[in-house]
A and B are shown apart, each in its own frame.
Chain A
């Protein structure tokens, strides 16, 4: 029977070893599950110890000690049930029932005489087997709901419990059928070893086994990665990584992307989370480390706050099995996000801190160590993806900078070109007159008048260009214009500007149309004039075949405010659809005119700058080959700049469209539709 003894000693050693591991872990992390595991193996080890005591010392053979060993053995399935409760939940009624059963059979151990009656042995074994099998099935079912490593581990524990039940069954047979005792003993030893090894695999799987179990999940995650190369932006990359991590771990996952310039972690979450944070925390939002940015589908978190911020700040994983208890300040948020157990790990490529991956669920993970391991592997993969994404974004930014430099060079070339035309005109006219005077000293008065007018107009043109350059310099430095606001009539301004252009082109028919007698607002006259000049100048320049250019002025009510509108419509080249979105950017010029028609590419940027500083907007509608219409909207109710309209002082603080009437002005009543059609001016 040497082999049987060896098997039994080995099984006992496995149990004691597992107890020592479980004890160490429970001391390190005294969570409920760890405590229950230690308790279970502690009980088993105590049984082993008492058995060993019996073989070496008479104390171990005392009836009370033997009875104690029996009671501890009968406690095993109950402890297993408690373990199952910690992992997957057991109905309270079943727990209570098991407690009553345990009390009954344990009592029997102490009160019944030593060769126990058969009925008691059958009863005790039946109790043990029923509870152990129930627990076994519970673990296997829990495993079916989990995935990856956790699933395999729960299955192993279920198997261990089944072996344990069989082990006790053989002990029962040994007691009732003593003739076969040797066979039962050998079988029981083997089953005990099998259960110990199964538990070992379940509760403390070796690394190589965990890796092997992780592999399928990891592979499914990795298979998602190639798709990311085509993602449109960082947010889509993050979304894809998040859903990949969530599917792999079997819990919700979120990635916070480190924003170097703003020093925040940005989470791209469900669209409403940001609003819910704002609603739930109000004035506390900032104190809790949240930053609510403009993007509705993202919120920012300061490093150091919550599990994610802490993991990022300390650059090591943070596991909060009960987050609301561990971090009460953010308890409301954890509950709101359904993140009662949080597991966060930094995403870092080399020394470059990229962000943080957080996996969270309503229930603490069964094997936090396995999940943490997996999450770290996922974070490493995410780091590779995100870093390559960042590198390509940086390359794109560098290209954009080069493009901006190129446009700036073109701008300088164009502005010098534009300045040289009036300079050439002035110098040539002056030298022609000089030549005349040197020769015969007579110049016809009309010619002299034209020459002087040309000189004047050229210098006006140059002065305006210099002004534009100065405004442009402010635009470059993002400095606001110093607006000189004074009562300015849009109708008079437009009429005058249109008439000053009337003689400059034979091919164009320039017209001004309005029904309003005057549209007067507090505006910078010179700046608006320049804006209009730019628009009319563009209309002339970009309709080289000629055609009508119609300037219109009218008023409109919108959003309870009165607006003065000015439009310039031409029948020229139009703007390619692709250029429309960037048309008002400085240096940007339509592909159909760049390099063909001289221009600096700042005219429209200046128009936008001027109009927006007035609190207005400029827009364009255009069809390539048919012409463009630029429309400027200026607030008429005298609100400074783009600030939200404060309620005007006075008794009737504006509600409804009529209460916000403009300051006294002779313009007709505000109409919703321009009424200028057919009305020449």
Chain B
């Protein structure tokens, strides 16, 4: 929230469903975030490598490289501090999401308010840990 005053936070949305991707993008852009999107894990990792995001919104069910694989690769490339918010459509995913180091999870279909709150919480935590704005 404090970060919004200076540079807008960069959020990377990874989801293979184009409509879900677009809806989240609109919502986040409406809140002033800079948004990038990827339809699969490979594209996500490439984007993240080019310009490290402040937060990754990661769908757990992806073609080829699944959400868990993407999360592990992100941890490897960007360290433990990068906040990953897991988005899942199945009931058992939350534990697994936590195991790969997501700080929170949101279940589809989500309430937009819940999603935005989770994103803000992740960015605040991130800011607190790295003291980027300090």
A residues within 8 Å of B by Cβ? 413, 416-418, 420-429, 431-432, 435-436, 447, 450-451, 454, 457-458, 504, 541, 544-545, 595-598
Q: Tell me the smallest distance from the CB of A324 to a CB of chain B, in Å.
A: 69
Instruction: List 4 additional contacts besides A429-B23, A432-B30; criterion CB under 8 Å.
Output: A413-B92, A423-B109, A424-B23, A458-B19
B residues in contact with A450, CB < 8 Å? 22
B residues in contact with A597, CB < 8 Å? 63-64
Q: Tell me the smallest distance from the CB of B126 to a CB of chain A, in Å.
A: 23
Q: A428 and B20: CB pair below 8 A? A: yes
A residues in contact with B64, CB < 8 Å? 544-545, 596-597
What is the bound-complex CA distance between A549 and B75, given in angstroms?
A: 35
From B61, which residue of chain A is reached at the shortest CB distance? A598
Q: B89 and A421: CB pair below 8 A? A: yes
Nearest first, the 10 A-B pairs at minimum CB distance are A428-B23, A425-B19, A431-B112, A424-B108, A544-B63, A424-B109, A420-B89, A423-B109, A417-B89, A420-B108
Q: Tell me the smallest distance from the CB of A159 to a CB of chain B, in Å.
A: 83
Main SS of the interface on chain A?
A: helix
A residues in contact with B133, CB < 8 Å? none
Q: A416 and B63: CB pair below 8 A? A: no
Q: A413 and B108: CB pair below 8 A? A: no
What is the bound-complex CA distance between A545 and B64, given in angstroms?
A: 9
What is the bound-complex CA distance between A435 and B111, given in angstroms?
A: 12
From B112, which residue of chain A is reached at the shortest CB distance? A431
Q: Given A416-B89, A596-B63, are A421 and B23 also a contact pair (CB < 8 Å)?
A: no
What is the bound-complex CA distance between A468 and B83, given in angstroms?
A: 38
Q: A417 and B61: CB pair below 8 A? A: yes
B residues in contact with A420, CB < 8 Å? 89, 107-109
Q: Given A435-B27, A544-B64, A596-B64, are A421 and B112 also a contact pair (CB < 8 Å)?
A: no
Let me know if B18 is at the binding interface, CB within 8 A: yes
Q: B89 and A428: CB pair below 8 A? A: no
Q: Tell me the smallest distance from the CB of A591 to a CB of chain B, in Å.
A: 15
Option from B63, B90, B107, B109 in Cβ contact (under 8 Å) with A428: B109
Q: Given A435-B27, A541-B63, are A429 and B90 also a contact pair (CB < 8 Å)?
A: no
> Of residues 53 to 78 in B, which have CB atoms within 8 Å of A's CB atoms?
61, 63-64, 66
Option from A416, A423, A436, A598 in Cβ contact (under 8 Å) with B30: A436
Q: A435 and B17: CB pair below 8 A? A: no
B residues in contact with A418, CB < 8 Å? 89
Q: Which of B27, B40, B108 has the most CB of A within 10 A?
A: B108
Q: B17 and A447: CB pair below 8 A? A: no
Q: Tell me the smallest distance from the CB of B14 to a CB of chain A, in Å.
A: 13
Option from A413, A431, A454 in Cβ contact (under 8 Å) with B19: A454
From A506, which residue of chain B is reached at the shortest CB distance? B39
B residues in contact with A422, CB < 8 Å? 17, 19
Mask of B97-134 contacts with A, CB within 8 angstroms, 1/0: 00000000001111111010000000000000000000
What is the bound-complex CA distance between A544 and B109, given in angstroms?
A: 24
B residues in contact with A435, CB < 8 Å? 27, 30, 112
| Interface range on chain B (Cβ under 8 Å from partner) | 20 to 34
A residues in contact with B108, CB < 8 Å? 420-421, 423-424
What is the bound-complex CA distance between A126 and B18, given in angstroms?
A: 112
Q: Tell me the smallest distance from the CB of B19 to a CB of chain A, in Å.
A: 4
A residues in contact with B40, CB < 8 Å? 544
B residues within 8 Å of A by Cβ? 17-20, 22-24, 26-27, 30, 40, 61, 63-64, 66, 89-92, 107-113, 115
From B66, which residue of chain A is reached at the shortest CB distance? A596
From B115, which residue of chain A is reached at the shortest CB distance? A428
Q: A428 and B110: CB pair below 8 A? A: yes
From B59, which residue of chain A is reached at the shortest CB distance? A421
A residues in contact with B22, CB < 8 Å? 425, 429, 450, 454
Q: B17 and A421: CB pair below 8 A? A: yes
A-B contact pairs, 20 of them (CB 8 A): A416-B90, A418-B89, A421-B108, A422-B19, A424-B89, A426-B109, A427-B112, A428-B23, A428-B27, A428-B110, A428-B112, A429-B19, A431-B112, A431-B113, A432-B27, A435-B30, A454-B19, A454-B22, A541-B63, A545-B64
What is the bound-complex CA distance between A206 and B107, given in angstroms?
A: 84
What is the bound-complex CA distance between A174 and B115, given in angstroms?
A: 125
What is the bound-complex CA distance between A529 and B99, given in angstroms?
A: 42
What is the bound-complex CA distance between A447 and B22, given in angstroms?
A: 11
B residues in contact with A436, CB < 8 Å? 30
What is the bound-complex CA distance between A447 and B111, given in angstroms?
A: 20
B residues in contact with A504, CB < 8 Å? 18
B residues in contact with A413, CB < 8 Å? 90-92
Q: Which of A436, A451, A596 has the most CB of B within 10 A?
A: A596
Q: B26 and A424: CB pair below 8 A? A: no
Q: A424 and B61: CB pair below 8 A? A: no
What is the bound-complex CA distance between A595 and B23, given in angstroms?
A: 26
What is the bound-complex CA distance between A658 and B111, given in angstroms?
A: 63
What is the bound-complex CA distance between A425 and B27, given in angstroms?
A: 12
Q: Given A431-B27, A436-B30, are A457 and B90 also a contact pair (CB < 8 Å)?
A: no
Q: B61 and A454: CB pair below 8 A? A: no
Q: Which of A424, A447, A544 has the most CB of B within 10 A?
A: A424
From B31, which residue of chain A is reached at the shortest CB distance? A435
What is the bound-complex CA distance between A201 and B110, given in angstroms?
A: 93
A residues in contact with B90, CB < 8 Å? 413, 416-417
What is the bound-complex CA distance between A137 and B116, given in angstroms?
A: 107
A residues in contact with B92, CB < 8 Å? 413
What is the bound-complex CA distance between A435 and B30, given in angstroms?
A: 9
Q: Given A429-B19, A454-B19, A544-B40, are A424 and B27 also a contact pair (CB < 8 Å)?
A: no
What is the bound-complex CA distance between A429 and B40, given in angstroms?
A: 21
From A597, which residue of chain B is reached at the shortest CB distance? B63
A residues in contact with B91, CB < 8 Å? 413, 416
Q: Tell me the smallest distance from the CB of A570 to a CB of chain B, in Å.
A: 13
Q: Given A432-B27, A458-B19, are A424 and B63 also a contact pair (CB < 8 Å)?
A: no
Q: Tell me the smallest distance from the CB of A529 to a CB of chain B, in Å.
A: 21
B residues in contact with A432, CB < 8 Å? 23, 26-27, 30, 112
Q: Tell me the smallest distance from the CB of A531 to a CB of chain B, in Å.
A: 22
What is the bound-complex CA distance between A359 and B132, given in angstroms?
A: 92
Q: B17 and A425: CB pair below 8 A? A: yes
